[in-house]
Amino acid sequence: MTDGTALPGGAPALRLTVLVGEEDVWHHKPLYAEIVHRACHAGLAGASVFRGIEGFGASSLIHTQRLLSLSEEMPVAVVVVDTEERVRAFLPQLAELLADGGLVTLDPCETLSFRRTDGAGREAGGRA
């Protein structure tokens, strides 16, 4: 049963996920932050950074957030979703940033935009 609210139509998109270490840097700045800033400057729809609580990569060394662990190199995922054309146009910038390592995955997906106005002319979430 529905409440009468129409679902928005979906649009094809491409999800870009960049997996790096929390301590990875680009010119003394966290690498994940540089990726987000470049994605913003490139006009991509958005980017989010997610910090992992445990993981391992090419070294097979497990990094964990558990109390008795001394690891500080936690896994970080930067996720960007936009049109395939725009995401693929961003890949050369990632190639430069990931010269010392990192993993990128590309997944086709579908976006649904749910927007609501809060009465002040602003969308929920804070964007005008």
The most confident of 53-57, 63-67, 72-76, 120-124, by mean pLDDT: 72-76
| DSSP strand pairing (63-64 vs 54-55) | antiparallel
Q: How confident is the model at residue 127 (pLDDT cuts 50, 70, 90)?
A: very low
In this predicted structure, what is the pLDDT of residue 115?
76
pLDDT at 33 over 60: yes
Mean pLDDT, rounded, for 15-25: 93
CA distance 77 to 86: 19
| pTM for this predicted structure | 0.76
In this predicted structure, what is the pLDDT of residue 107?
97
Distance of CA 65 to the CA centre of its chain: 21
pLDDT in tens, 83-125: 999 999 999 999 999 998 889 999 999 998 887 766 555 544 4
- Percent of the chain at pLDDT above 70? 72
Classify burial at 71, counting beta carbons within 10 Å of its beta carbon; exposed 0-12, middle 13-18, buried 19 or more. Answer: middle
Q: What is the DSSP string of 75-123?
A: EEEEEEEE-HHHHHHHHHHHHHHTTT--EEEEEEEEE-----B-SSS-B
- Return the closest-CA partner of residue 36 out of 125, 111, 97: 97
CA distance 78 to 36: 8
Classify burial at 100, counting beta carbons within 10 Å of its beta carbon; exposed 0-12, middle 13-18, buried 19 or more. Answer: exposed
CA distance 42 to 73: 28
In this predicted structure, what is the pLDDT of residue 22?
87
